Amino acid sequence: MNTTIYHNPKCGTSRNTLALLRERGIEPEVIEYLKTPPSRETLLSLIKASGLPVIDIVRRKEALFTELGLDAPGVTDAQLIDAMLAHPILMNRPIVVTPKGTRLCRPAEQVLDLLS
């Protein structure tokens, strides 16, 4: 089973999600998205596959979110996507992709729904 996690090792939820996968014998492809950010095409694909609105994939608690004015009324999905591409720290995490689907795993236990 091919599984991928978009991971930030400094994030407790991301570490816990990775641990849950490994406890179940799954060694996912780990993409540290701060070092290797997704392309626009990949990011758009992840957002679409997750079924979530773009704003839910943005890490709103990140100071940069407010500094860039992304909390202003009328900010478009395209502006949010451009901001995440320019500043990958704005991507919420972890995003896990398995054959059963794509999910933002917050809390970490949500990853269990993606496993057989």
Alpha-carbon distances, residue 102 vs 83, 86, 89, 95 (angstroms): 21, 23, 19, 7
- Phi and psi angles of residue 104, each rounded to the nearest 5 degrees, phi first: -80, 115
Q: What pLDDT score does 56 carry? A: 97
Q: Residue 1 has what pLDDT?
A: 59
Neighbour tally for 18: CB within 10 Å = 23
Q: What angle do CA 93, 96, 102 make, to 5 degrees?
A: 110
Query: Is 11 labeled as catalytic in the residue annotation?
Result: yes
Question: What type of residue is 60?
Answer: R
User: Which is nearest to 87 in space by CA: 69, 102, 114?
Assistant: 69
**CATH number of the domain residue 95 falls in:** 3.40.30.10
Q: What is the pLDDT along the chain (116 residues), one digit of tens a residue?
A: 599 999 999 999 999 999 999 999 999 999 999 999 999 999 999 999 999 999 999 999 999 999 999 999 999 999 999 999 999 999 999 999 999 999 999 999 999 999 97
Alpha-carbon Rg for the chain, nearest whole angstrom, is: 14
Structurally, the chain folds into a number of domains equal to 1
- Which residues contact residue 82 at a Cβ distance below 8 angstroms, ignoring those fewer than 6 apart? none
Catalytic residue among 4, 11, 45, 110: 11
109 DSSP assignment: G
What is the extent of the structural domain holding 89? Answer: 4-114
pTM for the whole structure: 0.94
